[in-house]
Chains A and B, each alone.
Chain A
Amino acid sequence: MGHKTFSRGVHPSYYKELTSGKRVEAATLPKTVTIPLQQHAGAPCEPLVKKGDIVQEGQKIGDVKAFVSAPVHASISGKVKDIELAQHPGGFRSLSVIIEGDGTEKHWGPTGAPVDLSVLSGEAIRESVRDAGIVGMGGAAFPTSVKLAPPKGKAIEAVVLNGCECEPYLTADHRIMLEEPEKVVWGLRALMKATGASKGFIGIEENKPDAIEALRKAIGSSSDIQIIVLEAKYPQGAEKMLIVAALGRKVPVGKLPLDVGVVVNNVGTAAAIYEALNWGKPLIERIVTISGNGVKEPRNLKVRVGTSFEEVLSQCGGLVEGGEVEVLNGGPMMGIAQPTLAVPVIKGTSGITVIAASVIKSSVYDACIRCASCVSACPMGLMPYKLGDFGKNFRTADFKDWDGVSCIECGCCSYVCPAKRPLLQWIRLGKLKVRLEAQKAAAAK
């Protein structure tokens, strides 16, 4: 307590101790990878290779001209087996490049001292970041190069690194900050250079004292970067909540962080930028926390993009036998449940959470007793119990009037509801209806 935070929110059980003390280990080299051409928010890539091509680890295999996009790279060396529609962890099917590996591994590592940032231009950093296919690694996977190129007339004053990791179970960011603090700090400085920001902040929840210590050491006596210790509360890592807690600035409704002069990036993204600029390594692998009460040996693994969930899970002792489990891409609050284990790890997969029996929610719910839990939990200041009803009953006009579109889908409302009403699910329906109506209106014009 006493640490900075935002209004409302919830305090779920974190269960981070399952993996927070475990070092990141390299996963075994996968034999086959399925690399979706859409791993970022924005336009999907077009394949640059065709069936039968020989590809090298780190070779660009998909790209597109669109501004909001990021290229994808081969995460192993081998032969393109096929390019086909495959199940995507985002819950849809995406055109994917399937590569059969040849068993060789390329060595990525330092070729000397870290690059001197003062000789790099902002433009050069942006280009390298885009070229390396770097996207937000906290889960939303927004192309980082786009964030680094604000529209004219909007100055960026501060870069905030998001090290909150407020999702239960996940410890990937925690381990990065603890094990590779220099990379994080270097990456932050690169981001500051690219955006012209004079100040850098790293927001961390107070439940990771060892990571705070490690970063303090890495920053040393420099005054350009400040660590902000935040209360451990969900959803502290949501962009808007982080900015208001760290800097006291509220992102206006319908606006972006850069409207208040801020860019937020995940700590993992910063580390990936370090590797891209120093080692020339594109974003082909990432740290994934595999945890939950449904997996036998929770671990933190460095996994190649494209490795199937099944293969990753088998390196963690596999799933618990019998009964029902829910396998999530991400954490339990915002993660997406997978209908099959044949989905690949992608750039935005911060964790694979497997929850079993006792934790899985039931689909039975009671009537709303207007206990106000959801209203006092909603970080956006909405009234979820009402929005849920509006969404469920297709009352789209009311839904819009009660600001349903401002929902950030953090799930606090459903989490606290004593009647176990699937509020967020209904609110999503409401948002979908609003979108569809807008599309219809646009088509009619």
Chain B
Amino acid sequence: MDQKTLDTKEIKTAPTPEPPSQAATKLVVSSSPHFLNNESVPKIMHNVVTALLPATAASVYFFGWRALLLIIVCVASCLLTEYAFQKKRNKPIKIYDGSAIITGMLLAMTLPAGFPIFGAVLGSVFAIGVGKQLFGGLGFNIFNPALLGRAFLMATYPVLTTTWVWPRTMEKAVDAVTAATPLAMAKFEGKLDVPLMDMILGNTAGSLGETSAIAIILGGLYLRYKGYINWKLPLGYLGTIAAFSAIFWLSDPTKYPSPLFHLFAGGAMLGAWFMVTDMVTSPVTSLGQWIFVIVAGILAVVIRLFGGLPEGVMYSILFMNAFVPLLNKHTRPKVFGEARAQKV
């Protein structure tokens, strides 16, 4: 049989002769299964958007309307960029699938509240344009687009991306112009005494979405409840961060921050629940997922404690994103009834 007779379209739409007695009803023919569940890509993406709402609300609560403006700008620029690329490439316009909204929201979440609007637009264009559309659009990107956008801004505006402001709920907000995040304080000033409760609620300096751990966990649990994320990913990542940082903390609690500090400071929560769990850029196999989160968790702690930057979540995830295709290939599950060991 040659290639032509094997064409998918031909097999799919076999001729459907209409029986005379059933003139009004048309018989259709397709390949089994004939019955699919009611999930869809837009449904998943819209649920992720919903799950991000508590964190969004928290950021507006802590940082005021400027935070909301930043989020709106990022989302709008992401959607526009996506539209422009799809239009130019003559692809179906799928900006309503929600994936660009997520990228915009997540990118905004990684920025300080005082970040310039122009920079936010630039970061969004890079995130969607280079991070996603140049790879071929949704499903083909290797790196998490939002994190890539953030990394781009880190390289372009190193000062602005780390110029934090105090949340308006803190009294220091009155006179302080710039603030330090708990991680930066721990790293550069050796201060380990930020109240844990403030970090859990979000009453600390930091980017929009990295302050309120509780709002993020709420969204994460919603996604878990909906079945869109696998326990392994967020808990494996956070667990590794906690376990690995505990080694240092136990060796010298005065020098190294506690595991709880690591969990609730910086972007660990946001990264664990919304970036590690990004379907497109995380492994599909069970073993691959374990390797992904454990190595990323260790990397995050290593960067935080020994790297030049106070925060390591972003690079730990981006770094591991690059290994996903390799992990998928070499951690295939064992075929049912297969005697030999896993193929490497």
Contact = CB atoms under 8 A, between A and B. Distances in A.
Interface of A: 10, 12, 168, 240, 244, 250-253, 255, 310, 319-328, 332-342, 353, 355, 359-361, 363, 366-373, 375, 379-383, 385-386, 392, 394, 402-403, 406, 409, 411, 414-420, 422, 424-426, 428-429, 432-433, 436
A320 B27 CA distance: 11
B29 A337 contact: yes
Most buried by B among A252, A338, A403: A403
A324 B26 contact: yes
Contacts of A411: 32-33
Interface in B19-47: 19, 21-22, 24-37, 39-41, 43-44
Contact of A361 (B24, B36, B41): B36
B88 interface: no
23 contacts: A244-B336, A250-B336, A253-B335, A310-B21, A322-B24, A326-B28, A326-B34, A328-B32, A328-B34, A337-B32, A339-B16, A359-B35, A360-B28, A361-B35, A366-B41, A367-B139, A369-B138, A372-B283, A381-B335, A406-B337, A415-B33, A415-B35, A424-B31
B250 interface: no
A429 B6 contact: yes
A80 B295 CA distance: 73
A253 B303 CA distance: 45
A252 B339 contact: yes
A253 to B, nearest CB: 5
Contact of A367 (B24, B140, B282): B140
B1 A338 contact: no
A371 B31 contact: no
Contact of B36 (A328, A403, A420): A420
A356 to B, nearest CB: 8
Nearest to A319: B25
A369 B137 contact: no
A369 B99 CA distance: 11
A338 B31 contact: no
Contacts, number: 200
Contacts of A379: 336
A301 to B, nearest CB: 19
Contacts of B284: 370-372, 375, 383, 385
- Interface on chain A toward B: helix, strand, loop, or mixed SS? loop
Nearest to A361: B36
Contact of B279 (A10, A321, A325, A370): A370
A255 B336 CA distance: 11
A325 B31 CA distance: 14
A359 B34 CA distance: 8
A366 B338 contact: no
A355 B337 contact: no
Nearest to A254: B337
A169 to B, nearest CB: 9
Contacts of B41: 366, 369, 418-419
Interface residues of B toward A: which range? Answer: 35 or more
Contacts of B158: none
A369 B285 contact: no
A375 B285 contact: yes
A320 B34 contact: no
B21 A334 contact: no
A411 B334 CA distance: 19
B139 A383 contact: no
B33 A418 contact: no
B27 A361 contact: no
B15 interface: yes
B36 A415 contact: yes
B191 interface: no
B336 A340 contact: no
Nearest to A328: B34
A437 to B, nearest CB: 11
A325 B26 contact: yes
Nearest to B40: A418
Contacts of A370: 139, 279-280, 282, 284, 328
A127 B37 CA distance: 45
B11 to A, nearest CB: 7
Most buried by A among B24, B25, B39, B328: B25
B90 interface: no
A361 to B, nearest CB: 5
Given A367-B140, A370-B279, A326 B30 contact: yes
Contacts of B44: 369, 371, 418
A363 B30 contact: yes
B336 A406 contact: yes
A396 to B, nearest CB: 11
A371 B335 contact: no
A341 B19 contact: yes
A380 B94 CA distance: 34
B50 interface: no
Contacts of A360: 28, 30, 34
Most buried by A among B13, B30, B34, B337: B34
A360 B35 CA distance: 7
Given A319-B22, A375-B284, A383-B332, A367 B36 contact: no
A31 to B, nearest CB: 15
Nearest to B289: A372
A361 B140 CA distance: 25
Nearest to A10: B37
Given A325-B28, A326-B30, A425-B8, A416 B37 contact: yes
Given A367-B139, A385-B284, A436-B1, 5 more contacts: A250-B337, A332-B34, A381-B333, A417-B36, A419-B139
Most buried by A among B14, B30, B283, B285: B30
B279 A403 contact: no
A380 B138 contact: no
Nearest to A244: B336
A425 B12 contact: yes
Contacts of B137: 367
B279 A332 contact: no
Contact of B138 (A251, A366, A432): A366
A372 B279 contact: yes
A371 to B, nearest CB: 4
B19 to A, nearest CB: 5
A244 B339 CA distance: 15
B33 A326 contact: no
Contacts of B25: 319-325
B17 interface: yes
Nearest to B34: A332
B15 A339 contact: yes
Most buried by A among B1, B33, B40, B285: B33
